[in-house]
Amino acid sequence: MTRLLEIRDNIKVLFSKYDVFIIPVLKFLLALIMLIMLNGRLGYMSKLGNPGIVIIVSLACSFLPTGAILLFGALFSMGHVFALSPEVAIVVGFIFLLIYLLYLRFTPGESLCVVITPMLFVFHVPYVIPVVMGLIGGPASALSVVCGVIIYFTLHVVTQNAANVSGDLSDIMGQIRLIIDSLLGNKQMLVLCVAFAIVTIAVFIIRRLPIEHCWMIAMISGAVLCMVITLIGGLVTNAGFSILGIIFGCILSVGVGKVIEFFKFCVDYTRTERVQFEDDEYYYYVKAVPKMNVSAPEVKVKNINRSRERRPIRPSRPDPAPMDTAEMDTTELDSSYFGDTTELDE
């Protein structure tokens, strides 16, 4: 566990140090994958499938706010649908406009949720998003999840009825009615909208409770609740869900939630403390749960300068033995002691 905490702290330090470069790269990859999926599943306007256009738009999204990814995704979708049928493009544009107004009013900062939800449907794991948004978002995140579900099924209905709405301009109202009826009568969309909204709010409420292991209880409860509601709704409405897909998606949602908990809410319940204090008006009962952190090891760096030349140390000459000046007879001193003074006299 200590090793995992060290890896987590290193990742956080790395991200905080190079976030200027990491965030644009992640936004570029997300926009690139989204546009490739749209061109692959729709593909009615061949010009939008040009790799140069896709890369340029993805690069633009990497430097713009995250809402730009949702905007370019809507524009690409509208372009493909317009190439299929201008009348259907009007219906799709009206639906996108309603979603944008709801998104802008209640959850303006969760554009990534609206973008990622349809992408998870393509990978057949949409059951991850309500549990994740319940853990990291709020009650209004249920609206973002529902908007993502509606966007996916809107484009899915267009692709299913492409043969019926293209090339025939004699019955415009019939084409529009076909798209609207197919969308409103889609039982899978209705069941998933209800299930995802309930799960998102339930996970948010449970993970906010003052109980131990609240995040783990919230993600497991959300996965089970999503499984139960989807299966019961599928049986009642005969929507035709895949049971194995639901089970796998709910299990995967718990795994993803556990990873998010490790990075955002990793606490040590074994060292829980309860504190009680008071002031003039209130008594306070506080439950303190410490986070699981690893202290950084102290690294001592010793600088050694090898460029300086090492000078040899000369041995010090021993001091002469002290002499008693009172007993010293200067007449007995040899002239060699003082040196030859004749040269000085000359």
**pLDDT score recorded for residue 338:** 47
Mean pLDDT score, 18-37: 92
H helices of 18-84, in order, are: 19-41, 51-63, 67-84
Q: What is the pLDDT of residues 59-98, one digit of tens each?
A: 999 999 988 999 999 999 999 998 888 888 888 888 898 8
Nearest CA to 147 out of 191, 100, 182, 109 is that of 100
Q: What is the pLDDT of residues 296-339, one digit of tens each?
A: 555 566 666 655 555 555 555 555 555 554 444 544 445 444 45
DSSP state of 46: G
pLDDT exceeds 90 at position 103: no
pLDDT exceeds 80 at position 136: yes
Alpha carbon of 51 to those of 32, 272, 316: distances in Å?
10, 55, 82
Q: Check if the beta carbon of residue 137 is closer than 8 Å to that of residue 169.
A: no
- Other beta carbons within 10 Å of 222: 30
By DSSP bridging, strand 283-288 and strand 273-278 are antiparallel
The whole-angstrom distance between residue 337's C-alpha and the CA centroid of its chain comes to: 91
Q: Please, what sign has the CA dihedral across residues 54, 68, 95, 223? A: positive
Structure token pair of residue 299:
């690294």
172 vs 80, more confident = 80
Q: Check if the beta carbon of residue 35 is closer than 8 Å to that of residue 49.
A: no
pLDDT exceeds 70 at position 213: yes
pLDDT exceeds 90 at position 30: yes
Mean pLDDT score, 173-184: 80
Question: Which range has the worst mean pLDDT, 127-136, 194-203, 295-304?
Answer: 295-304
* pTM for the full predicted model: 0.78
Mean pLDDT score, 257-274: 76
Whole-angstrom Cα distance, residue 101 to residue 114? 13
pLDDT exceeds 90 at position 128: yes
* Mean model confidence pLDDT for the chain: 81
